[in-house]
Amino acid sequence: MPADALEQKVWKALDGFRIELPSWGFANTGTRFGKFQQAAAATTTAEKLSDAGQVHRFTGCCPTVAVHVLWDFPDGKFSVPEVMLMAERHGVKIGAINPNVFQDQIYKHGSLGNPDPAVRRAALQHILDCIEIASATGSRDISLWFADGSSYPGTANIRHRRRWFEEGLVEAHRNLEPNQRLLVEYKPFEPAFYHTDIADWGMSLLMARNAGPQAKVLVDTGHHYQAQNIEQIVAWLLSENMLGGFHFNDRRYADDDLTLGSIDPYQVFRIFHEIALFEWETGRRAEIAYMVDQSHNLKDKIEETIQTAVTAQELYAKAALVDHAALARHQGKSALVDAEECLKDAFATDVRPAIREWRKANGIPAEPLKAFRESGYQERAARERGAKNAAAVTSYA
């Protein structure tokens, strides 16, 4: 047990912190312009789960893996027992279920917002199938991101599309198990460039509320306009009991999906702080699903994910060090400098020594990235998968 107060706070925070990994982060994915193959990238669901298991083994905070149904369940719901067995074999569990209503050709003009009723029915049926898969895997959350929108003025009836979305989400909610949640994500642009059907947190909030009490808002840190105050959105959603989860990444310009904390770690800290402050004031834990969703197109996939998990632990631990009682006193007196210093002091604290001791106490390597590199896993994966990944390289004349 740690001896001093700082270590006690850090250890308590880390004991309760979990961040989910995306299965697709371990495969050869890229941007709409292309992708760069990595010899060790996962080529099957089993390999994705194996890689995720490595991250959890070396960090101790990533026990679940979010999956994309079309990418990770090749035979739909019939694949579930096999996939669950794979996950167990690699020391992880299946987490959030992500429907895919943007990839197939029928979704060229949208999914739940498509003017064609047949396409809307197909999209809804896929979501219902995903809810059924979530029931089989024991997953709580079904994460919904929609590419729906339009790219030219006058080409879509925005009000009609909103109504179709509401109808689809209500029907999806009607099919949830009592312990399940719909997490409704938003994005202001891309791939649609004129309007996006669920463009911001307010639209997502309205959609979720209309769907039913088991629907919440999912915040992707990259899905905002430049300089938008994300922690204010977090605070509002917490006040409304409507914050369901995060997709964490970082960005320089727009939805860049860079490594968490690589551009603005203070922003991630501020988000964690708003959550910690809410929990301190209310005396109850916020039911928030933390998840990674970022591009691993250039960095080694497992190493970047370990780097992400470690950074998340550090920023979460720093947020736990904010003196909430002192902060409340300073805020009440409008003591601006003193109030801000409460956050700055916590953010400036080096929590790495305390985290290393926590890892040792929990049988986790003190230096996760170093230990992973010494394990030889990366080299073995490259040897075993290299030929498959090389064969997948597309050449252009």
Domain harbouring 293, CATH code: 3.20.20.150
Average pLDDT over residues 294-317: 96
Number of domains in the chain: 1
Q: Is residue 51 part of a domain?
A: yes
Residue 94 and residue 20: Cα distance in Å, rounded?
10
Tokens of 259: 């490594």
Dihedrals φ, ψ of 20, to 5°? -85, 145
SS3 category, 108: helix
Residue 388 and residue 371: Cα distance in Å, rounded?
27
List of long-range contacts for 153-161, beta carbons under 8 Å, 24+ apart? 153/194, 155/194, 156/110, 156/113, 156/115, 156/195, 157/115, 158/195, 158/197, 160/115, 161/110, 161/113, 161/115, 161/197
Across the chain, what does the average pLDDT equal? 95
Q: Is residue 128 part of a domain?
A: yes
Question: Which residues touch 102 (CB under 8 Å, ≥6 apart)?
Answer: 111, 145, 146, 147, 191
Query: What is the model's pLDDT at position 30?
Result: 66
The whole-model pTM stands at 0.96
Residue 241 and residue 38: Cα distance in Å, rounded?
42
Question: Which residues touch 233 (CB under 8 Å, ≥6 apart)?
Answer: 201, 219, 224
Question: Which residues touch 296 (CB under 8 Å, ≥6 apart)?
Answer: 25, 26, 29, 304, 305
Percent of the chain predicted with pLDDT > 90: 90
Q: Is residue 370 part of a domain?
A: no
Task: Concatenate the DSSP letters of all residues of 76-106 into one string.
Answer: GGGGHHHHHHHHHHTT-EEEEEE---SSSGG
Query: What is the model's pLDDT at position 397?
Result: 35
Q: How confident is the model at residue 77 (pLDDT cuts 50, 70, 90)?
A: confident
Is residue 147 over pLDDT 70? yes
Tokens of 266: 């203070």
Residue 229's Cβ-side half-sphere holds a number of Cα atoms within 13 Å equal to: 6
Q: Is residue 314 part of a domain?
A: yes
Tokens of 219: 């915040």
AA identity, residue 131: I
Q: Is residue 90 part of a domain?
A: yes
Q: Is residue 212 part of a domain?
A: yes
Q: How confident is the model at residue 295 (pLDDT cuts 50, 70, 90)?
A: confident
Dihedrals φ, ψ of 203, to 5°? -65, -40
Is residue 395 over pLDDT 50? no
Residue 253: give the domain boundaries: 17-322
111-137: b (≥16 Cβ within 10 Å) or e? bbbbeeeebbebbbebbbbbbbbbbeb
Q: Is residue 107 part of a domain?
A: yes
Average pLDDT over residues 251-278: 96
Q: Is residue 348 part of a domain?
A: no
Least confident of 29-38, 78-87, 278-287, 382-391: 29-38
Residues 233 and 282 sit within 8 Å (Cβ to Cβ): no
Tokens of 110: 């949208």
